Structure 1
Amino acid sequence: MISRVLAFIAVLSLCVQGAAAQSVLRDAETEAMFREASAPIFKAAGFNPDAIDLVLLNDGSINAFVAGGQAIYIHSGLIGAADSVNELQGVIAHELGHITGGHIIRFDEGLKPATGITVLSLLLGGLAAAAGSADAAMGVFMAGQQAAMGKFLAFSRAQESSADAAGADFLSKAGISGRGSIEFFKKLQNQEYRYGYSASSNPDAEFYRTHPMTSDRLSTLQDSYSRDPAWNTPPPASLQARFLRVKAKLYGYLADPQDTLRAYPEYLTDVPARYARAYAFHKEAFVDKALAETKSLIASDPENPYFLELEGQILLESGRPADALGPLRRATALTGNSPLIATTFGHALIATEDKDNFAEAEKVLRASVVRDRENPFTWYQLGVVYEAKGDIPRARLASAEQQLMNMQLGNAVRSAEAAEAALPKGTPDWLRAQDIAMSARAMMERQRKSR
């Protein structure tokens, strides 16, 4: 009995920390769309829009969650399931409700009472067993475990209802319709029906849920949203168009090319269809077809930096880095040196193997890490530049940055120590090398203790 209860608690902990097991997807266009869609909601809640991160995870399930700190994690499957940016905004508002409610911080409030019930059931069960009644002891154990689960799940459902209410308030203050939120809940409800999780088919279903029944949430929110002045306000057409582009782009990048071509057949000539097919053809190494789709996209909007980025990416990854420089340089300029696009541009400059391009690559990559230090590939490319110019200490420091982010902790310590030994004492780079070595050692010690 003890092991089963502990396993139950461990599973709950894994739910909170789920982001660690999934890969993060980074894309400049997607992140820009996320920021535009969420900014009014964050402002309505009293947050600086730049203070909360929206992180896209490569996971096909329809889900989003918070896991401590000011970050909202969104599964790629959720983007695929949503039909409008308004649905995405509804999800973001709900997850923001968890952050403002401090629900992850208050996780122990729900766990401690559940643990207390479990411990009490073990004590009572032990007394029953000592009195010679094994069946009674087993009954007490089982009842105690069920009570503990019910206590925790009731706490979780209360938090979800609180986040629903907060999300509705944020959308209203932002002047954003809750219609998308209702539509998304209906999709979740259809999934429940499909898998037999409805209350009518299973009277005990609600007891075993972390979330209230979707039908109950719909009833509560429908009334609130439909009376809001923004109920009939559609999202801006330009934002909806950007959402559909991102959705198609993500599908083309993640799905099997044949599935993409079935979902976006060649007779469709709109922007999302061409976007998805460009990725599908590129993955199949049909370079001419991929470039033809991209050229059509650029012709429809010559100043769109993300279309230019795609053209540069296809050329670079097809072994034509010199041809990629033009579109990537333009895309970098149009986005005000977006770190992700600038990194691709820096990569293309290095890939030309022309030493005359390395000075520009260093400038571009250094500017990129100033704005986004959390991209290990940028540090790798910067290390290549430093090594090519003979600056071995900074090449080692760049390697240490990359290794720390990739959790290669032993290598990070060695690279940082080598950089520290060769860098001028007291300089920012020398201090950073010390910080990396100390951080990596601390992580290694925590890992050792956890084992």
Structure 2
Amino acid sequence: MRSFFSTARIQKSLKARIGAALVLAYIAGVVSALPTNAQARSGVIRDAEIEALLKDYATPIFNAAGIAKGSITIALIDDRSFNAFVTTGRRMFVNIGALMEAKTPNEIIGVIAHEAGHIAGGHLTLQRERAGMAQMMATAGVVLGAGAMVAGSGNRSMNAGNGGMGIMLGAQELAVRSMLSYQRGEEQAADRAAIKYLAATNQSPRGLVDTFKRLSDDQMFKLDGIDPYLMSHPAPQDRIASLEQLASSSPVFAAKDPASLIARHEMMRAKLYGFAAKGDEVVRRYPISDMSLPARYARAIMNYRYKKVPEALAQIDDLLKSQPNNPYFWELKGQVLLEFGQAREAVVALRRATGGVPESGLIRGLLGKALVATGDRALLDDGIRELTNASQREPDDVENWRQLAIAYNQKDNIGMAEFSAAQEALLMGDMQSAVNHAAKAKARLPAGSPAALKADDILNYRKPKSN
């Protein structure tokens, strides 16, 4: 498991699409699709095992929704609250808190189905359009209000400008209400779509209902002191009642999750608790008396986090006795060994991991890093091969390009080292460094080679003009 700049949490305005605060942010123009730079990846977690499971959860739902294969990216957010949301960049974000709290796969699948309803319904595009209209409404009111305040400023009365202020505030409130009235309808439409997608894939809508029952007690759904109109979602009682009515009429309401999926779900939860929870919380949830596979997994990860390396490796080896071909156990072993200076041993473990999931760019990237870290020049070509494969599968992964730059430099291939450094800088949002490295790469690479052409693209890049 890897975290991008995990000490910097994702912006609060991106944590949820509900509530008036987000709508005001939309109107102010500060929330849009996440940009693909380093800052946007703050708080984003990558993990091959969890991403594979979420893909298996989502693929049947996306097919039922008519969403093109591979067109939606699901990202994990390092946040313990229960939430998921989509952006106009066709990205779906799921908080790790949702995965940790969800008792069944069906609960997460229901959430994915709801978000798929937003995507298939084009709601995010419509929200952007309406945000522009709402901004115009609010701006017009602000201009009128400012004019009234200026006109009143010549009057010595303290209340002379209050009429203008009232116009300004009233216009902004009208803009918010106008936008939210549409959002509530879209939430209901997404609920209905979710029920349909779940039925089409022979999955129960029970998890979706259970999720919203849980959320009804969450602070973000409490109405005390909040204008109920200023809620982007329908009032929780109304929403749950509507959902229960729709769900109970589903022909697959009694459907159960497959045992194999439940087992993977529990392993995912254990992994997240092991990585994200404090040690005492892990021990309470997975006491030493619990010898289940998820409990042993969580404790092994916890010991790795707390740098108890011998204990962690012993526990991972014990896990491998139970499931000797589990690629994610081998990945974890390789990660521990690599991080604590045993690169050669890590290579052995990570080769076993890639053998189990050869399509995983994340694990291939880790193997490539381990090969380079051995310092053995005889392994550099293998390392470059694995890192190149990983960068093709994960083109936005900065670490792969960083390691390629190191590997090519060790092979004295300065042209490719500079090109890799240019790609790394580009992904980090450092355009000046990207241009500098690209210029050096182009001077050394064979003319017309793929890397030289890409370096030329970086040199010729011009930032789009803002409207």
TM-score between the two structures when normalised by the length of structure 1 = 0.89
Amino acid at match of 1:139: G
Residues 246-265 of structure 1 correspond to what in structure 2 (within 5 A)?
Answer: 246-265=268-287
- Secondary structure of 1:176's counterpart equals coil
Pairwise CA distance, 1:18: 6.0
Gaps of 5+ in 1: none
* 1:293 corresponds to 2:315: yes
Asked if 2 retains the 8 angstrom alpha-carbon contact of 1:172 and 1:230, the reply is yes
| Distance across 2 between alignment mates of 1:65 and 1:176 | 21
The match for 2:215 is 188
Pairwise CA distance, 1:123: 6.0
| Distance across 2 between alignment mates of 1:85 and 1:13 | 36
Q: What is the CA deviation profile of residues 327-349 of structure 1, one whole-angstrom value per residue up to 9, with x for unaligned ones? A: 21111111124211111111111
* 1:161 corresponds to 2:188: yes
The match for 2:24 is 8
* 1:375 corresponds to 2:375: no
Amino acid at match of 2:163: A
| Distance across 2 between alignment mates of 1:270 and 1:31 | 23
* 1:61 corresponds to 2:77: no
Is the deviation greater in 295-304 or in 254-263?
Answer: 254-263
RMSD (Å), alpha carbons: 2.5
Amino acid at match of 1:29: E
Gaps of 5+ in 2: 1-20
The match for 2:384 is 362
Is the deviation greater in 67-76 or in 7-16?
Answer: 7-16
- Identify which of 196, 200, 213 aligns with 1:173: 200
TM-score between the two structures when normalised by the length of structure 2 = 0.86
- Secondary structure of 1:74's counterpart equals strand
Residues 112-191 of structure 1 correspond to what in structure 2 (within 5 A)?
Answer: 112-122=132-142, 125=145, 130=151, 133-191=160-218
Q: Label 1:113 to 1:379 Cα distance change in 2 as closer, same or farther (>3 A).
A: closer
Q: What is the CA deviation profile of residues 255-281 of structure 1, one whole-angstrom value per residue up to 9, with x for unaligned ones? A: 233332333222211122111111110
The match for 2:406 is 384
| Distance across 1 between alignment mates of 2:34 and 2:367 | 33
- Secondary structure of 2:409's counterpart equals helix
Q: Label 1:66 to 1:337 Cα distance change in 2 as closer, same or farther (>3 A).
A: closer
Residues 12-51 of structure 1 correspond to what in structure 2 (within 5 A)?
Answer: 13-17=29-33, 20=40, 22-51=42-71
Between 1 and 2, higher relative CO (CA 8 Å, sep ≥ 6) is seen in: 2
- Identify which of 222, 227, 246 aligns with 1:197: 222
The match for 2:251 is 229
The match for 1:415 is 437
Q: Label 1:352 to 1:120 Cα distance change in 2 as closer, same or farther (>3 A).
A: closer
- Secondary structure of 1:54's counterpart equals strand
Is the deviation greater in 85-94 or in 320-329?
Answer: 320-329
Q: Label 1:205 to 1:390 Cα distance change in 2 as closer, same or farther (>3 A).
A: same
- Count matched residues: 435
| Distance across 2 between alignment mates of 1:315 and 1:122 | 60
- Identify which of 343, 353, 362 aligns with 2:365: 343
- Secondary structure of 1:190's counterpart equals coil
| Distance across 2 between alignment mates of 1:238 and 1:181 | 20
Q: What is the CA deviation profile of residues 186-219 of structure 1, one whole-angstrom value per residue up to 9, with x for unaligned ones? A: 1101114xx7824xx55x5321112111221111
- Secondary structure of 1:332's counterpart equals helix
Higher helix share: 1
| Distance across 2 between alignment mates of 1:98 and 1:424 | 47
Amino acid at match of 1:57: I
Pairwise CA distance, 1:422: 1.4
- Secondary structure of 1:294's counterpart equals helix
Q: Label 1:190 to 1:351 Cα distance change in 2 as closer, same or farther (>3 A).
A: same
Residues 205-354 of structure 1 correspond to what in structure 2 (within 5 A)?
Answer: 205-354=227-376
- Secondary structure of 2:429's counterpart equals coil
